[in-house]
Amino acid sequence: MLNPSGIMIDESVLWKETFIKTLKRSSDGIFAFDEFGKIFFWNNSLELLTDYPSRLAVKLSYNDVFWPDSFAALYNKVKDGEIVEIPLTRYSFKPGKKVYFKGNIFPVLDTDGKFFGGIGCLTQITGPGFVEAEVLSEDGLIEEVESLARVGRWEMDIMTGYTFCSNQIYDIFEITPDGPIRLEDLFCYVHSEDISKVIQVIDCAREEKRSIDFNYRIITPNENLKYILGKAKPVLNEAGKLVRLLGYFQDITYRKRTDSLLSGIVHSSGMGFMMLKPVRNEDKYVTDFQPVFFNHFTEKFLNKKFRELRGKRFFAEYPGLIKLGILDQFKDVMTTGEPSTNEVYYGEDGFSNWLRISAVRNEDSCIISFEDYTERVDALEELRKNQIFLYQSQEAANICSFEWELKSDNFKVTPELRKMFDYPSKGTITFKDIQNCVEEYDRSNIMTFVETIIETNEPWELECKVKTIMGREIYCWMKATIFIDNAGEKKLVGSIMDITKRKKAELDLEKSKLQLERISKALKELNEELEIKVKERTLDLSVSNERFRLISNATNDSMWDWDFITNEFWFNDAYKAHFGFENLEGKAGLDYWKTRIHPDDRTRILDSFECIFFSQESNWRNEYKFCKNDGTYGYVIDRGFVIRDEKGKVIRIVGCLTEITEIKTIESRLLESEETYRTLAESMPQLVWITNETGEIIFTNRKSEEYLGKSFDDLKGNGWFNFIHQNDLSKALYKWNQSLGTGAEYSVEYRLKNCLNDYRWFLSRAVPIKGENGKNVKWVGTSTDIHDQRMMLNNFASAQVKLSDINNQLNTKNEELKKINKELDNFVYMASHDLTSPVRNLESLMELLLNELNPDPNNVKLNFLINLVTRSISILKKTISDLSEVAKTEEDPFLIQEVNLNEVLEEVKDSIKDLIEGSEAIILEDFKVKSLKFRKKNMRSILFNLLSNAIKYKSIERKPVVGIRTELVSEDIILLAIQDNGKGIRKEDYPKVFAPFKRIDYGVEGTGIGMSIVKRIVDNNGGKIEVNSNPGEGTVFNIFLKI
Over 50: is that where the pLDDT of 2 sits?
no
Over 70: is that where the pLDDT of 129 sits?
no
Give the model's pLDDT for residue 857.
77
Least confident span in 193-207, 287-301, 820-834: 820-834
Over 80: is that where the pLDDT of 735 sits?
yes
Over 50: is that where the pLDDT of 858 sits?
yes
CA 235/CA 371 separation, integer angstroms: 55
Over 90: is that where the pLDDT of 964 sits?
yes
Question: If we measure between CA atoms, which residue out of 959, 1006, 948 comes closest to residue 981?
Answer: 959
Q: For residues 319 and 585, which has the higher predicted lDDT (pLDDT)?
A: 319
Cβ atoms within 10 A of the Cβ of 192, count? Answer: 8
What are the boundaries of each domain within the chain?
12-248, 269-377, 397-505, 555-659, 674-759+775-783, 890-1042
pTM for the structure as a whole: 0.28
SS3 314: helix
Give the model's pLDDT for residue 14.
45
Cβ distance 214 to 113 under 8 Å?
Answer: yes
Q: What residue type is assigned to position 433 of the chain?
A: D
Torsion of CA 505, 506, 510, 511, to 10 degrees: -10
Quickly name the fold that domain 269-377 has.
Beta-Lactamase (3.30.450)
Strand order in the sheet with 353-362: 286-294, 272-280, 365-372, 353-362, 340-346
Give yes or no on whether 12-248 and 890-1042 have one common fold: no
CA 730/CA 767 separation, integer angstroms: 20
CA 829/CA 816 separation, integer angstroms: 20
Q: For residue 699, list its beta bridge partners.
A: 690
Give the model's pLDDT for residue 176.
82
Helix (H) or strand (E) holding 228: strand 225-236
Over 70: is that where the pLDDT of 963 sits?
yes
CATH 3.30.450.20 is the classification of domain 397-505: yes
Give the model's pLDDT for residue 711.
85
Q: Can you tell me the mean pLDDT for 19-41?
A: 68
Least confident span in 23-37, 152-166, 292-306, 705-719: 23-37
The model's confidence at residue 662, banded by pLDDT at 50, 70 and 90, is confident
Give the model's pLDDT for residue 923.
93
Q: Can you tell me the mean pLDDT for 1002-1010?
A: 66
Tell me what percent of the residues of the chain surpass a pLDDT of 90: 9
CA 647/CA 545 separation, integer angstroms: 23
CA 18/CA 21 separation, integer angstroms: 5
Over 70: is that where the pLDDT of 221 sits?
yes
Q: In three state form, how does the secondary structure of 903-952 look?
A: HHHHHHHHHCHHHHHHHCCEEEEEECCCEEEECHHHHHHHHHHHHHHHHH
Q: Residue 174, class by beta-carbon neighbours within 10 Å (0-12 exposed, 13-18 middle, 19+ buried)? A: middle
The model's confidence at residue 62, banded by pLDDT at 50, 70 and 90, is low
| Phi and psi torsions of 440, nearest 5° | -55, -40
Give the model's pLDDT for residue 278.
92
Q: For residues 460 and 881, which has the higher predicted lDDT (pLDDT)?
A: 460
The model's confidence at residue 761, banded by pLDDT at 50, 70 and 90, is very high
Superfamily holding 890-1042: Histidine kinase-like ATPase, C-terminal domain (3.30.565.10)
Give the model's pLDDT for residue 961.
94
**1039 alpha carbon, distance to own chain's centre:** 35
Least confident span in 1-10, 195-204, 537-546, 725-734: 1-10
Least confident span in 661-670, 863-872, 890-899: 890-899
Sign of CA dihedral 905, 910, 911, 912: positive
The model's confidence at residue 981, banded by pLDDT at 50, 70 and 90, is very high
Over 50: is that where the pLDDT of 5 sits?
no
Cβ distance 973 to 1018 under 8 Å?
Answer: no
C-alpha pair distances (Å), 168 with each of 150, 626, 795 = 7, 106, 118
Strand order in the sheet with 746-753: 697-700, 687-692, 776-785, 759-770, 746-753
Q: Can you tell me the mean pLDDT for 112-128?
A: 70
Q: Of the ranges 15-19, 339-343, 517-521, 534-538, which is most confident?
A: 339-343
Over 80: is that where the pLDDT of 7 sits?
no
Over 80: is that where the pLDDT of 36 sits?
no
CA 82/CA 246 separation, integer angstroms: 10
Going by their DSSP bridges, the two strands 961-970 and 922-927 should be labelled as parallel
Over 90: is that where the pLDDT of 926 sits?
yes
Give the model's pLDDT for residue 829.
57
Over 60: is that where the pLDDT of 883 sits?
no
Quickly name the fold that domain 674-759+775-783 has.
Beta-Lactamase (3.30.450)
* CATH class assigned to 555-659: alpha beta
Give the model's pLDDT for residue 583.
62
Q: Can you tell me the mean pLDDT for 122-138?
A: 48
Give the model's pLDDT for residue 29.
78
Give the model's pLDDT for residue 125.
66
The model's confidence at residue 290, banded by pLDDT at 50, 70 and 90, is very high
CA 217/CA 228 separation, integer angstroms: 6
Give the model's pLDDT for residue 647.
76
Give the model's pLDDT for residue 510.
77
Quickly name the fold that domain 12-248 has.
Beta-Lactamase (3.30.450)
Q: Of the ranges 15-24, 92-101, 754-763, which is most confident?
A: 754-763
- What is the residue-averaged pLDDT of the chain? 78
